[in-house]
Structure 1
Amino acid sequence: MSQDTGYDVVKKYHHAWTSGDIDAAMGHVSDDITCRAPGVDLNGKDVYREFIGGFAPMLTGIGDIAEFSDGAHVALFYYPQTAATSTTPAAEFFTVREGKIAESVLIFDRLSYGPPEQG
């Protein structure tokens, strides 16, 4: 059986976490993953699981924008839809090593996902 490409690994991970299956998503993540996200650097699978697991329940949908892969590197651009926003884009740049996501750079506007302002 052939090993999944970096693109395959990332797509399986992305589909799992955006469907709320954090356990399946973490099966595609390296134990020593590093992630740079707005306002925080995450190190290790447990910390990363907590971060993703805290956001996933807020999702009401996902709108895909674009994807790019050059083998070990995969970029996803999409709209994580929540009660607060459906049009705020997010971008992730992944590095896959030995069949697992080893690094992630996540870019999104944190303020757009907060509670709506009271006027």
Structure 2
Amino acid sequence: MTQESAYAVVQDYHRAWTSGDVDRAMTRVADDITCRAPGADLTGKAAYRAFIAGFAPALTGLADIASFADGDRVALFYYPETAATTTAPAAECFTVRDGKIAESVLIFDRLSFGPPAEA
């Protein structure tokens, strides 16, 4: 049996968490994952799960822009839609090892997802 492609692993993970199924998404994540995100460097599955689970309920939709794969690295570009914004893009670069997401670099504008500025 051949190992599932890195692209398939990341796509399944992404579909799961963006549809609110954080438990299924975490089956695609390595126990020792590292994630660099705006304002936080996360280490370990528990910290990563808390981060994803804290944002997933805010999603009201998702618009995919593009995805690319090169071996064990996969990049996703999308618009995570929330009550605060539908136009702030996000980008993620994943590294998959042994069929699990081992590293993630997440780029997004944190201010766009906060409460609207008062006039």
Give the TM-score normalised by structure 1: 0.98
1:4-23 → structure 2 map (5 Å cutoff) = 4-23=4-23
Structure 2 gap ranges (5+): none
Give the Å deviation of 1:2. 2.9
How far apart are the structure 2 equivalents of 1:106 and 1:89? 11
Partner of 1:91: 91
Partner of 1:67: 67
Partner of 1:76: 76
How far apart are the structure 1 equivalents of 2:71 and 2:9? 11
How far apart are the structure 1 equivalents of 2:4 and 2:10? 10
Asked if residue 111 in structure 1 is aligned to residue 88 in structure 2, the reply is no
- What SS does structure 2 have at the residue aligned with 1:76? strand
How far apart are the structure 1 equivalents of 2:2 and 2:82? 37
How far apart are the structure 1 equivalents of 2:34 and 2:3? 23
Instruction: Give CA-to-partner distance per residue, 1:35-69, whole Å, 9 cap, x none.
Output: 00001100000000000000000000010001100
How far apart are the structure 1 equivalents of 2:117 and 2:70? 41
Across the aligned residues of Structure 1 and Structure 2, the Cα RMSD in angstroms comes to 0.6
- What SS does structure 2 have at the residue aligned with 1:86? coil
Partner of 1:56: 56
- What SS does structure 1 have at the residue aligned with 2:76? strand
Structure 1 gap ranges (5+): none
**Which amino acid in the other structure matches residue 117 of structure 1?**
A
How far apart are the structure 2 equivalents of 1:114 and 1:18? 18
Q: Number of aligned residue pairs: give it.
A: 119
How far apart are the structure 1 equivalents of 2:2 and 2:23? 23
Give the TM-score normalised by structure 2: 0.98
Query: Post-superposition, which runs of at least 4 consecutive aligned residues in structure 1 deviate over 6 A?
Result: none
How far apart are the structure 1 equivalents of 2:62 and 2:14? 10
- What SS does structure 1 have at the residue aligned with 2:66? strand
Partner of 1:29: 29
